[in-house]
């Protein structure tokens, strides 16, 4: 079974080198431009009501994967699916960014953490009632995510 996706736009960011891209959107204040293809612009109606959106995208410069990785935030090896490491069997990324403004089919966003030119696959509104969980355990990130 194959699932074939086509980008709906492209994400522009200040980051042109993998090694200089922020580790997570929550640690970035960088501004990016989400350039949605004009044919999908109508699907953006009402999005300006949301302060935060999910971007779903392809890690387009990521080739192959290993099932055990040393993530950026740790020096120990973990299972790939217990990390947010970009080299994955399906190179899908998600970031939550702040929606600053919309001009027709272009969204200015803050807190971007992807490479310039990243293919955009989907946009979804961030809704805490759906997306926020309390009483969370974060495994090996416990001692690492604040560093």
- Return the ∠ at Cα 133 (arms to 31 and 140), rounded to 5°: 80
Find out whether 112 and 32 touch, Cβ atoms under 8 Å. Answer: yes
- Comparing CB distances to a second copy, the nearer of 31 and 98 is 98
CA–CA distance, 24 with 37 (Å, rounded to integer): 25
- Tell the smallest beta-carbon distance from residue 100 to a second copy (Å): 12
The answer to whether 6 contacts a second copy (rule: CB under 8 A) is: yes
Rg (CA), the chain: 16
Give the x/- contact pattern for a second copy in 65-84, rule: CB under 8 A. Answer: --xx---------xxxxxxx
Q: Is 68 within 8 Å of 76 (Cβ atoms)?
A: no
146 is a site residue for a second copy (CB under 8 A): yes
33 touching a second copy, by CB under 8 A = no
| One residue of 19, 29, 46, 101 binding a second copy per CB under 8 A | 46
Q: Does position 38 bind a second copy by CB under 8 A?
A: no
The upper half-sphere exposure of residue 112, i.e. CA atoms within 13 Å in the direction of its Cβ, equals 26
Residues β-bridged to residue 93: 57
* Residues 6+ away with beta carbon under 8 Å from 45: none
87 part of the interface to a second copy, by CB under 8 A = no
The correct pick among 13, 88, 115, 118 for binding a second copy (CB under 8 A) is 88
Residues that bind a second copy in the complex, under the rule CB under 8 A = 1-8, 24-26, 36, 40, 42-54, 56, 58, 67-68, 78-84, 88-92, 94, 96, 98, 119, 121-133, 135-142, 145-146
């Amino acid at each position: 079974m194959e699932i074939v996706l086509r980008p709906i736009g492209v994400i522009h960011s200040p980051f042109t080198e993998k090694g200089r891209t922020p580790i997570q959107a929550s640690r970035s204040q960088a501004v990016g431009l989400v350039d949605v293809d004009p044919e999908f612009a109508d699907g953006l109606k009402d999005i300006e009501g949301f302060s935060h959106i999910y971007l779903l995208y392809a890690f387009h410069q990521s080739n192959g994967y290993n099932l055990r990785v040393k993530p950026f935030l740790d020096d120990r090896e973990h299972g790939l699916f217990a990390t947010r490491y970009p080299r994955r069997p399906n190179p899908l990324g998600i970031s939550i960014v702040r929606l600053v403004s919309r001009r027709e089919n272009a969204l200015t966003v803050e807190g971007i953490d992807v490479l310039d030119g990243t293919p955009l696959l989907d946009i979804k509104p961030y809704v805490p009632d759906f997306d926020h969980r309390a009483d969370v355990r974060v495994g090996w990130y416990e001692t690492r995510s604040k560093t």
